[in-house]
Chain A
Amino acid sequence: MSDRSVPSSVDASLQAAQEIQNRFVSDNLRRIFLLIYRIVGNVADAQDLTQEAFIKALQRQDQLKELDKAAHWLSRIASNTAIDFLRRNGKVNFCEIDGLIEPLTEPTDSPEQAVLRSEHRAHLEQGLDVLTERERTALLLRDVEGLPAELVAEQMNCSKATVRSHIANARIKFRRYMERSQRTSGRKRL
């Protein structure tokens, strides 16, 4: 009798652990996918990296001492995974920058075409495309994930001053983009 109860209790605890794991994945999957997608800029890479981030996190779940910080911890793993991917592919160099504000670059399509062609969301997405990858990463980690600048700097392997300049630069570029597109939109309507 007791011989049978031992494996069943083991099975039950394994099943419970599996359920917790599944819930952890489903609760955070969309948020983590979006974070990575906004950093790397395409769905296929974002899918692979999201899976990689979850596997890394769940393999190291014993390192997580406080469950209430799990979401923050997972975000950190995800952003590191995305940043490493960009580094590996030579898409971005997260080193120090010389100037505080880089000159505003024009988006590949003109704002007029963007506004006419797509809806509000596509328009905003194009606004993010104006940013360099390091500016976009810093902005997402700071404004979307809510990480303090010190942690963003740690994740991006930069100084805090560099990260602050990335964040400021990103906000200014995005604002200019939005204002310009609004003006263009207004002119089109007239």
Chain B
Amino acid sequence: MKHPNETQLALLAGGDLSLRERWRVRRHVSRCAECENDLQALRRASEQVRELAAELPKDLNWNRLAEEMQGNIRVGLAAGQAIAGFDKPAAIRRPRLGWNAGTVLACASVLFVLAFWANIPRPQAEHLAQALKRIAVHGIGNVPQQPALQQEDVVLEASSTDIEVQENGRTLSLMHPHSDGATVSVSMQGSAGVRFIDSDTGQVTTNKVYYAEQ
């Protein structure tokens, strides 16, 4: 007759064997006094552990310790509640530009505009200034109508055949009929010019008319 090992008996003592194994070991123990004694000894050991576990350590003043622990638990819970308040996520709000940041941004913008203004060429600056002035007066998108020409205005016109000056309904033409081709130029300062090769002489000829206000 093969005896169950000590581990099997130890597990049987606490009801920790599988169903099949339990049945087999119990069947043996019921017919074997030696194994029955071992099983009872193991059960007594488990019982003694339970008794021991219920007893307080030697020389321990339980009442004092219990009071101390209860007080500490209350303090711990209160501290936990206080900390939980700090741990809560702050309400989500849109990031706002603070006053300081706004001031810095405004100063940086002004400095940028001044630096830009100081560094652009003079004619462009004047042109830009006039454009801004017009915008200030008329607004963006409102292009002022060009004033109609007055009778007393002077018109200077250059073409491949002549240069004309029109004033008060009269026209003065400077003809250059004998040319194979001409280069015409006008300027905003009030001048018109033509360069051409005279077919009669073969010389490069330049005609230029300046208008000067009296």
Contact = CB atoms under 8 A, between A and B. Distances in A.
Interface string A156-189: 0000000011011101101100110000000000
Interface residues of B, number: 35
Contacts, number: 111
A26 B70 contact: yes
Secondary structure of the A side of the interface? helix
B177 interface: no
Contacts of B56: 30, 34
Interface in A91-136: 100-101, 121-122, 124-125, 127-128
A140 interface: yes
A84 B69 CA distance: 20
26 contacts: A21-B77, A26-B66, A30-B62, A34-B53, A51-B69, A51-B73, A54-B69, A121-B58, A127-B48, A128-B49, A143-B46, A143-B49, A143-B50, A144-B50, A164-B11, A167-B10, A167-B16, A168-B10, A169-B10, A171-B13, A172-B6, A174-B45, A174-B48, A175-B10, A175-B42, A178-B45
Interface of B: 6-7, 10-11, 13-14, 16, 41-42, 44-46, 48-58, 60, 62, 65-66, 68-70, 72-73, 76-77, 80
Given A128-B52, A172-B6, A178-B48, 12 more contacts: A30-B56, A34-B53, A34-B55, A37-B57, A43-B65, A47-B68, A47-B69, A144-B49, A144-B53, A168-B7, A175-B44, A175-B45
